[in-house]
């Protein structure tokens, strides 16, 4: 019975984090899009993605830490969800970049053939 209660508490704790993770995903996605737009003149897309996503993770961590502090000293645990979520956003960005590059290569090959 005790093991079932432990699993139940773990499940409830996981359910509590879902709204925070979705909010962090939305916030990190918007901030990283703005930073990517500001960095559109960078010559290398991978470096641009890494820099924009890294800055977004730092910004989220700092703002989340001060937000969790609630007027007190900086609370690092409050901002830890943002870098974790930003890793997911970075992975999605890398997959999208890979897809865009493959589509460009296919279009270029088709143009050269026809």
In whole angstroms, give the CA distance from residue 68 to residue 103.
43
pTM comes to 0.79
Give the pLDDT score at 52.
96
User: CB-based burial of residue 60 (10 Å sphere; 0-12 exposed, 13-18 middle, 19+ buried)?
Assistant: buried
Does residue 32 have a pLDDT over 90?
A: yes
Percent of the chain surpassing pLDDT 90? 56
Look at residue 7 in the predicted model and tell me its pLDDT. Answer: 62
- What integer pLDDT is reported at residue 97 of this predicted model? 93
Q: Check if the beta carbon of residue 37 is closer than 8 Å to that of residue 20.
A: no
66-98 confidence digits (pLDDT tens): 988 888 898 888 888 999 999 999 999 999 999
What's the mean pLDDT when you consider all of the chain? 88
Please choose, from the candidates 78, 73, 37, 47, the residue with its C-alpha nearest in 3D space to the C-alpha of residue 61. 78
Rg of the Cα atoms in the chain? 20
């Amino acid at each position: 019975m005790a093991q079932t209660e432990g699993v139940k508490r773990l499940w409830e704790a996981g359910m509590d984090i879902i709204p925070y993770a979705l909010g962090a995903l939305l916030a990190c996605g918007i901030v990283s899009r703005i930073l990517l737009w500001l960095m559109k003149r960078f010559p290398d897309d991978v470096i641009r993605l890494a820099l924009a996503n890294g800055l977004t993770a730092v910004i989220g961590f700092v703002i989340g830490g001060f937000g969790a502090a609630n007027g007190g000293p900086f609370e690092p645990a409050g901002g830890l969800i943002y870098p974790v979520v930003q890793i997911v956003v970075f992975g999605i960005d890398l997959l999208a970049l890979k897809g865009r590059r493959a589509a460009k290569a296919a279009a270029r090959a088709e143009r050269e053939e026809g």
